[in-house]
Amino acid sequence: MDVMLLAGTRPEALKLAPLALALAAHPALRPVLVHSGQHPGMVEQALEPFGLAVDVRLNVPPRVTGGQAELMAGLLPALDDALRRHTPAAVVVQGDTTTTLAGALAAFWLGIPVVHLEAGLRTHDLAAPFPEEGARQMVSRIAALHLAPTLGAAAALRAEGVARQQIAVTGNTVVDAVLEIAARDLPARDTALALLEMELAEAGERLVLVTSHRRESWGEPLERTLAAVQLIVAEHPDVQVLFPAHPNPRVRTQVEAALAGLPRVTVTDPLEYPDLVRALRLASLVLTDSGGIQEEAPTFGTPVVVLRDVTERVEVVQAGCAWLAGTDTERIADTAARLLNGELRPAQVGNPYGEGNAAVLAVAAIEELLGVRAVTPAAAS
């Protein structure tokens, strides 16, 4: 039985990769990886370190305006066609992207069960993050199976009326992904990261990793964050900053205008996943508005300053692994200083998003949804 895994962005692909590997090892289920085309090239790049490749690429017209309506209008007919041709037993969508919402709608309209990976995350504020909070709430209304990463996410779904038997608490598959890549301990492929790593070792300096890419961070909020980065560098002479900048021209131009030429600051293109994992392991501190990094950093005990006013990853804050700072310059710089000076320390509690077995638990839940069981050696004999 085919299980279609739909990805349009790099984070989706990274979190679907462990599930694809687990399904590929199953005797009765087969993963079909579909690239929606939302972010061309990024899905392939994310899958490559796992030895995976895209099975189907949707023929979506090139975008002119870049708007959500234009993207959705292109995705829906392409998804409908792909689903009719491949007739999967179920469709797995991940998270809260436009690809996720479009895939869930197209499958729902055709009567194909929708499996929502990373279900139940909530800020309960439709404006933050926008439009992701709306997308994931809408998908929850039509999903047949909700793979919740935590007990808190499962409780949020139950509070919205989702039946208990439709929810499976699995942990987050990003923990599976980060552990697999970290175990390989691959050397840095990005030249700037490799050079920075040597400088850190030679000078006994510390690394602060910074990422900011969310749409609500663009413009003035990012300007305040960049001012905080300047303060951190000025106040901590033993700190080097690495900022892998989002490829969006608006973001990249703003980052380079504020940081280019600043001593002990390195701005790079987005890092390939093994390099990002390496940077997370090296870092003494992370400043980020990324949801994925909030989930990945606790694996290495790396403290996180969250560049958002609210987070749907509340467990990482509650566990003492991250601190909310929003985009207030002084608050970011002060929280970073307290962490770098040792006044604040991350709790050594492990990763609140699981131990690396989320994909196995997700496959078990999909088996139950589809009425399929793995054939054990005893049963086969």
Annotated catalytic residue within 122, 246, 308, 313: 246
Q: Is 180 annotated as catalytic?
A: no
Q: Which residues of 134-159 are buried (b: 16+ CB within 10 A; e: fewer)?
A: ebbbbbbeebbbbbbbbebbbebbbe
Annotated catalytic residue within 124, 215, 250, 345: 215
Q: Is 278 annotated as catalytic?
A: no
Annotated catalytic residue within 10, 39, 122, 132: 132
- For 299, the token pair is 């694996």
Query: Using CA atoms in the order 38, 39, 41, 47, what is the torsion angle rounded to 10 degrees?
Result: -80
Cβ-proximal residues to 212 (8 Å cutoff; 6+ apart), any chain: 222, 225, 246, 251, 287, 288, 289, 307
Other beta carbons within 10 angstroms of residue 301's beta carbon come to 15
Annotated catalytic residue within 10, 39, 96, 315: 96
Q: Is 118 annotated as catalytic?
A: yes
Q: Is 96 annotated as catalytic?
A: yes
Q: Is 132 annotated as catalytic?
A: yes
Other beta carbons within 10 angstroms of residue 113's beta carbon come to 18
Annotated catalytic residue within 57, 213, 252, 338: 213
Long-range CB contacts for residues 344-347, cutoff 8 Å, separation at least 24? 344/303, 345/303, 346/298, 346/301, 346/302, 346/303, 346/320, 346/321, 346/322, 347/319, 347/320, 347/321
Task: Assess whether the previous peptide bond of 113 is cis (omega < 30° from 0).
Answer: no
Q: Is 215 annotated as catalytic?
A: yes
Annotated catalytic residue within 10, 12, 116, 118: 118
Q: Which residues of 63-100 are buried (b: 16+ CB within 10 A; e: fewer)?
A: eeeeeeeebeebbbebbbebbeeeebbbbbbbbbbbbb
Residues with a catalytic annotation lie at 96, 118, 132, 213, 215, 246
